[in-house]
Chains A and B, each alone.
Chain A
C-alpha cells in the first residue's frame, strides 16, 4: 500500500499544477489564450483601430503613440505600419490622416464588432461591466463579417455600446459623439452622462464604483482649484479628480427636478410604508430592467413594502396587486417618492 505521506504530497503537487494551469488571468491556459490572439493579423487590426481613434478624436498620431497603445516596440510598430501600407490600408506619406478608405472601413468593422460584443455582454449575460472591454478586445478579432451581422441582428441593431459610444453601422457610418467632458462644465450646469470611457481600466473601475452610468443626470456643484469636480447625481454628491472627470462625457441639458434631490430608492422604504415609483435608475440595464418593467414598475406605480422575510432581505412589495419579493440590491435601483399610506381604493370589501 502507498505511503500516506507521499500520497498526500503527490496530491498536493497535482492540485498545485492544476491551479497554475487554470488560474484566471495569470494561469498558463489564460496566457496561452492571450498569446494565440497576439498574432500578426491582430496587431495589424489593433494598429488600424488606433489610427482611426486618433483620426476620430482629431488627435495627432505617431509611431510612438502606436507602439504605446499596442504595448509593442517602436521597431515592431514601424514594421506593422509597413505591412499595412503593403496592403493598401494606410498611406504613410499622407501625414495626419494615414488611413485609406479601405483601411478606415476595416477599422470601423473591428470597432463595430468590439462595441456590439460589449452590448451583447451587457444585455444578454451576467459579465461584470469591468470585464466587458477586455473580453471584447479578444473577441473583436474572431468574427467573420457575416457573424458580426448576425450578432447585430440578434441584438436588435443597437445604436450605442454600453459605455455610450456609437456603434458604426454595417455601411460604416458613425455619428459624432455628443456632449462635452465633465471638466468643461461650470457650477450650476446640468446634463446627462452620454459616455464613460472604459480605458484605462483603473479609472473606469472607479467610475463604476461611484455608481455612475449612462443617462444619469448630473448637476455641477463646483470645481475646486486642484481640478476636482463636485457634482450631484441621482440625489447623491460625488467628487471626481480631474483625470477621471475627463473620462466622463456629459450632454448639457436641464434635468427634471425629481431626478435630483429628495428622490429615495425603494430599499429605503420600511415595512408598512408606501410610495410612488419615479423610475428605474439607468445603471439597471438588460434583463434585470426588463423584468422590473414587466412586473409593472413604471413611473406612477404605487408600491407598498408589505412583508419582510425572516432574514430581512428580500422584502416583499405589493406591486399592481401582486406580492413580489425583491432583493435589497434590486430595490435600490428603483427611485421612489413617498406617499401617505392609503386607505383607498383597496379598502373595498374590508367590511365584508
Chain B
C-alpha cells in the first residue's frame, strides 16, 4: 500500500488545504479526497450513504445557502474523505449550486471526482459528465440505477461507455449496495495513479468559438505550463467567468496542475515546487494578463447565442456517446405499471380524491399512533422520573432554588417537549419519506402546481407545507427541494401557517373544553374536531394569501424558474427509510428542540419565582400587559406564556396553567410556583382556565393566535440557517405575529360590537 501523501511538496499541500478551508471543509486528516457530483434525482445521496455508511456531517457552504454533506470511508489502508456536492444539471456556475460544485472540483482539487449517472437518463447525465471531464482528468463514473434501466428496457454497456469517456465506469445499484466495492476500488486506482484516465474532451464547437479558443489556448499554455485544462480555461474566459479570470490574473490557476499537488507515488517521483503563498516560478503573469486582455477583445467577436450553441454542442456529443453505449434516450415510459399508476394518480377524475385519501390516512395514522407512546413517555418522564429527581435533590440537600431551577424548570420543559414531540415525528416522517422514495410526492406537487402557481408559489410547496404539519423546522429544511430562489423563500416564510404537531394538542384541548361544550353531548367530539380542522384549513388559506402577497410585493424581484422532474416509481425500502428518516429528520429536529427547551424551562421557572418589589416577574408582566392583551381578546398570562414558550409550542398550555394558578392565587391546584403541570381531567383544566377569566372568545382567540404567531425558536434558527439572511428571518418571524394580533383584534372587537349592539 503506497503512501499517498506527498512528502516532497509540503507547500503545495498547505496551499491546497488553505483552499479547502476556504471552501468550508474541516481540516482533518485523510489520505485522499473524493468529490461526489451528479444530476439531481440520480441517487447521489444513496451512493453517498452507501459509501460512507451514514457517518456524515452536514454543513453549509461558506456564504451560500447550499448545504453540504461530508463523510468518510476506509478502503484497504487509506482513509477516504467524501464531499457531497450539490446536485446540478450543469457546471456553468450560473446558480449558487453550480458555482459551489464547480469551485470545489476546480479549486478544491479532489483526488477523484466521482460522477453519479442515472443509467436511464444517460444523455442528460452525460451533459454534466462531459463538463466535469473538461475540468479534471481524475474522474470515475458511477453508472447507477442499473436495475431500473434494465426494467425500462435500456441496456447500457459500461465497457463501451468507459471506452468512449476514457475514465473508469462502474455499474451500480446503490440502493442494494451492489457495485459499491467496485466503485471504491476504481476510486482507489485513480487516486493512487494506478489508472491514468484519458478523458474524452469535446473537440468541436461552432467555428466562431473554436477560432477564439484557438487564439487563447496557446497563450494560456505559455502562461501556465502543464495546465491540464487550458481549453476549458479558454472557454471560461470567453464566458467572462469572474472566478476563473481572477484565478488567471493572480496565477492561482497555475497551482492547480496535477503535478503541483497530486499524491505522488514512489514510482513517479514528480514533485511540484514552491511555497504556499508564492506563485510557481514558471508561471508567466504578464502572459496571463495578455490572455485576459485578448479574451475580452475576442468576446466581441462571438455570436450572441454563444451559450446556447455551447450547450447544443455538448448535448450533440452526449447523444452520440449515449448511442454508442446503448443508452439512447427513451422516448416514452416503457414500464406499464408506472403508466397505469400515473394514469390513476394524476388523472383529472381520480387524482385529487386519491391524494386527499392518502394524506388523510397519513395524518390519521400519525395522530392515532402517537397517542399511546406519548402518554407512556409522559407517565415515565413527568410522573415518575420528575418526583425521583426532586426526591434526589432533597436527599442530597440541594437548596430549593437549585433543585427548582434544574428539575422543575430545565428538566420538566425538556421532558414535556420530548414526550409530546417525539412519537408523532417518529411516525410521520418515516411515512412521508416512504411516499417520497416511492415517487408519489413529486406527483402531488405536479397535481397541485396549478393552484400554487396562482399564488406565485411552486407546486413543491404543497410538500413542504404538508411536512410543516409534522414540524415547521423540518418543513423549512424540506424547502431545499424547491430550486427557484423566489419560490423557496415564499415556502420558507409561509411554512409557519401549517399547524405543527406541537400546536395540535392546544387546539384539540381548547376546542374540546370551549367549543365542544356548545354542542349537545353526543355531537361534542365531532364539533370540536371540526373546529380544529377548521383552524388548520384557515392556516392553509393564510398560506395562500401570504404567498400571493409576498410574490407580488417584497419578493417580486427575486429570480424565479420552474422545473419539476417526475422520477419513475421505485419500490420503497422500508427498514432503511425508517432508519434514515429517524436519524436525518426526527432526531436532528428533536435535538434542536431540546437545546432550545432548556433555557425556556429555566426562564419559566425564573419568572414564577424571582420577586421584585413584592411580586414575581410573572405578576408584574401580567399586570402591565393586560390592557393591551384585552384589546386582542387574550390576557397577560397568555401573552407571557407565548413569550417564554417561544422555544416550543408544546409547553404553552402547561405554562398557561401554571401562570394562571400563580397569578389568580388559586390554592390546592398545581405543583407550585414555576412548575408546569397539566391536569388529568379536561374538565379540571376548563375550571382552572375559567377561574383565570377565560371565556369562549378567549379560547377562540388563543386558537387563532396559536395558528398565527411567530415560529418557535427551533424554526427561526432553521430559517436563518437555510436563508443565511437576517432580513428574511425577521420577516418570517414577525409577519405571522402581526397577522395574529390583527386577526384576534378584529375578531374580538367585532364580537364585542355585535354583542353590545
Contact = CB atoms under 8 A, between A and B. Distances in A.
Interface of A: 1-2, 4-5, 7-8, 11, 24, 121, 124-128, 153-157, 159-160, 175, 215, 274, 280, 286-291, 293-296, 298-302, 304, 306-314, 316, 318-327, 330, 342, 345-350, 352
A348 B150 CA distance: 10
Interface residues of B, number: 78
A155 B239 CA distance: 10
A312 B450 contact: yes
A8 B749 contact: yes
B45 interface: no
B562 A318 contact: no
B563 interface: yes
B92 A290 contact: yes
A293 to B, nearest CB: 4
Interface string B205-247: 0000000000000000000000000000000000111100100
Given A126-B486, A306-B332, A313-B450, A293 B307 contact: yes
A132 to B, nearest CB: 11
Contacts of B332: 304, 306, 318, 346
A175 B297 CA distance: 13
Contact of A327 (B308, B449, B745): B449
B753 A294 contact: no
Interface in B440-462: 446-451, 453, 459
A215 B245 CA distance: 29
B353 to A, nearest CB: 10
B315 A309 contact: no
B566 A302 contact: no
A312 B330 contact: no
Nearest to A343: B331
B123 A320 contact: yes
Nearest to B553: A24
B449 A322 contact: no
Contact of B348 (A2, A291, A310, A330): A310
B194 interface: no
Given A298-B308, A348-B153, A314 B329 contact: no
A156 B753 contact: no
Nearest to A8: B749
Given A307-B346, A310-B347, A349-B150, 18 more contacts: A126-B486, A126-B559, A127-B556, A128-B556, A153-B242, A154-B242, A296-B315, A301-B315, A312-B348, A313-B450, A313-B453, A314-B446, A320-B315, A321-B122, A323-B566, A347-B153, A349-B152, A350-B334
A298 B311 contact: yes
Contact of B564 (A1, A280, A301, A314): A314
A157 B153 contact: no
A124 B94 CA distance: 9
Contacts of B631: 2, 7
Q: Output the residue of A124, A160, A290 with the most chain B CB within 10 A.
A: A290
9 contacts: A153-B240, A296-B124, A310-B346, A310-B348, A313-B449, A314-B459, A314-B564, A318-B331, A345-B328
B560 interface: yes
A324 B41 CA distance: 12
Q: Output the residue of B122, B150, B153, B448 with the most chain A CB within 10 A.
A: B153
Contacts of A350: 153, 334
Nearest to A302: B331
A30 to B, nearest CB: 13
B592 interface: no
Interface in B78-120: 89-90, 92, 94-95, 120
Interface string B340-360: 001000111001100000000
For the complex of A and B, the 8 pairs showing the least CB-CB separation, nearest first, are A349-B153, A310-B351, A156-B240, A311-B450, A294-B89, A321-B121, A4-B752, A325-B564
Q: Output the residue of A274, A311, A318 with the most chain B CB within 10 A.
A: A311
Interface of B: 89-90, 92, 94-95, 120-124, 127, 150, 152-155, 239-242, 245, 296, 299-300, 304-305, 307-308, 311-312, 315-316, 328-334, 342, 346-348, 351-352, 446-451, 453, 459, 486, 553, 556-568, 630-631, 745-746, 748-750, 752-753, 756
A295 B89 contact: yes
Contacts of B154: 321, 348-349
Q: Output the residue of B305, B352, B563 with the most chain A CB within 10 A.
A: B563
B749 A314 contact: no
Contact of A125 (B92, B557, B568): B557
Nearest to B152: A349
B646 to A, nearest CB: 26
Contacts of A280: 308
A203 B299 CA distance: 32
B753 A309 contact: no
B749 A4 contact: yes
A318 B563 contact: no
B560 A126 contact: yes
Contacts of B565: 322-325
Contact of B630 (A1, A160, A322, A346): A1
B561 A309 contact: no
A153 B558 contact: no
Nearest to A293: B311
B750 A8 contact: yes
A295 B123 CA distance: 10
Nearest to B350: A310
A136 B360 CA distance: 50
Contacts of A325: 446, 449, 459, 563-566
A41 to B, nearest CB: 26
A322 B124 contact: yes
Nearest to A330: B562
Contact of B446 (A288, A298, A309): A309
Contacts of A154: 242
B127 A296 contact: yes
Contact of A346 (B334, B486, B746, B756): B334
Contact of A159 (B122, B300, B311, B333): B300
A324 B564 contact: yes
Contacts of B150: 349
A312 B241 CA distance: 40
B253 to A, nearest CB: 16
Nearest to A352: B153
A295 B563 contact: yes
A250 to B, nearest CB: 15
B351 A309 contact: yes
A287 B749 contact: no
Contact of B315 (A298, A308, A324, A327): A298
Q: Output the residue of B92, B124, B347, B558 with the most chain A CB within 10 A.
A: B124
A322 B153 CA distance: 14
Contacts of B329: 302, 320-321, 346
Contacts of B90: 290, 294
A325 B452 CA distance: 14
A296 B123 contact: yes
A4 B751 CA distance: 9
A304 B241 CA distance: 35
B563 A291 contact: yes
Contacts of B121: 320-322
A221 to B, nearest CB: 26
Contacts of A160: 304
A6 to B, nearest CB: 9
B333 A306 contact: yes
